[in-house]
Amino acid sequence: MNIKEANTAVIYERVSSQRQANENNSLANQMEATKAHCERNGWQVITVFNDPGKSGRSIERPGFQQMLAFCKEKRIRYVVVYDLSRFARNATDQGNAIAELTKRGTLVRSVSEPNVDETSAGRFAGNVIAASNQLFSDALSERTQERMRFAFESGRYLRGAPVGYNNVRRAPQGQANIVPDEVTAPLVSKAFELMATGNDSPSGVLKTMTAMGLRSKKGKRLSLHSFLNLLRNPAYIGMVRSNKYRETRRGLHRAIVEKRTFQNVQLILSGKKAVVAPYSRNRADFPLRRFLRCNECGTPLTGGASRSATGKTYDYYNCYKCHAVKSLSANKAAAEFSELLKHLQPSAMLISEFPAVLKAQWKVRMADNEAVVHKLRADLQERRESQAKLLAKYLNDDKNIVPYFEQMNRRFQEEIAALESQIAEADAEKATFEQLWEFSKSLLVDISTAWQKADVSQKQKVQNVLFPNGLRYDPEKGILNSENDCLFNRLENFVSGKMNMARPERFELPTFWFVARRSIQLS
């Protein structure tokens, strides 16, 4: 029912911080003043909207938007505020909102600024007040940014304390504002130590630490994503990092993780250090994650597990944006994709001509590989010699080296480990052409079976080469393949001379090398 009375009013209140709302009782003060103003003018207050702890720099406030929607739906004559700074602290936002309300017949009235009305003088006064409010807000923001910059450069932690630390209320300038928590700090330190051994994956370490009692600041179990963020946070080695300033500085707080342990964990997470259980972003249960796309909105599908009431776990793909694809069984999607692959049949020309092209590209690749290995071994020898010289100077008690020995030696160790890993990777590509061709031939003939037998990383590489743009999925029609460039079409263009012998974009010959290499090693 529309409210049509000419004396109807709604009240809007706002305070900038939750502390003002709770402690200073500012909302109550605004309510008292605005209600008294409405009573004096004979206006009937229909409802009250408020935004406790919300900044006036933006109108994207829940209470403010509800007030605008209410006034649009009902015929409200007045919106009453204590002062225009409660309405907005941005001149443009204030002007646009007042114009929108005025167009619908709703007038804004300020208890503290009664001269603001619809006359030319009143509009001028409103504009001056709006500019003044924005100036105050901008100046306050500038001072806040300056204080935050100074605090960061002083080594203070600018956010809520991470897991393992507690915030210190009103810590004096020059003193740490976070301190290690007696209960959780040892657990965080233990998590880093377990990760640094390389004997378990992040999910395995997280499971162990959860059993030992590691929880979030709110007392909840950490997700794998949150745990990985924890492992990458330099706060644990006594540093403060600012994404805004893109800097990392020595913090005032005490470290709870050794620097070498932290660096080893970073190498493991980035894949630069060989470990027994390397970290992988890919899950074997979801090979089609972000490859299949929602046909409705085009968003890549995400994968996740759901637990039933009986405790059984089921794997599903979902569109997190529009939810047109919801609870798509991972097994059903894999079966449909495998069935699609069965229909991909190369021509007889491709099968007969491909060996010659493959062999030529094989020779080029092996020559490139040998050159890479030769360069890597030379670099490795140089690093080892430099490390030996550094050690000799340290043992001779060279005063110029001693203070920096640990840092320089650790750098050499990291570079040597990275080079050894690259050499091992390059050596792993060595195989005979006959082995490669036999595997590639079987793959050309039955790519569906080959895909099913591959591990998750190989599956994703194959499907991305087969369909570089991914595939769309429709809940009713299943996997869609309309207007999609297929690998076999490009291979046939390649061997028939229609494609330049230079490596095409996102395509590498031998096409199935990344799958073949692993398969040959396991055979």
Q: Which domains does the chain have, with CATH numbers?
A: 8-140 (3.40.50.1390), 165-269 (3.90.1750.20), 292-339 (no CATH), 348-522 (no CATH)
Phi, psi of 272 (to 5 degrees): -90, -5
pLDDT digits (tens, 9 = 90+) for 43-86: 999 999 988 878 777 778 889 999 999 998 888 899 999 988 88
pLDDT at position 38, please?
Answer: 93
Position 2: which residue type? N
pLDDT at position 489, please?
Answer: 57
Flag residues of the chain having pLDDT under 50. 1-4, 24, 482-485, 498-523
Burial of 519 (0-12, 13-18, 19+ CB in 10 A): buried
- Measure the CA–CA gap between 439 and 510, rounded to whole angstroms: 11
pLDDT at position 511, please?
Answer: 41
Neighbours of 37 (CB within 10 A): 21
Q: What does 297-360 look like in DSSP terms, one character per residue? A: T-PBPEEEEEE-TTS-EEEEEE-TTT-SS-SEEHHHHHHHHHHHHHT----HHHHHHHHHHHHH
Provide the β-strand partners of residue 54.
none
pLDDT at position 151, please?
Answer: 76
pLDDT at position 504, please?
Answer: 34
* Strand pairing report for 328-329 and 78-81: unpaired
pLDDT at position 9, please?
Answer: 92
pLDDT at position 499, please?
Answer: 39
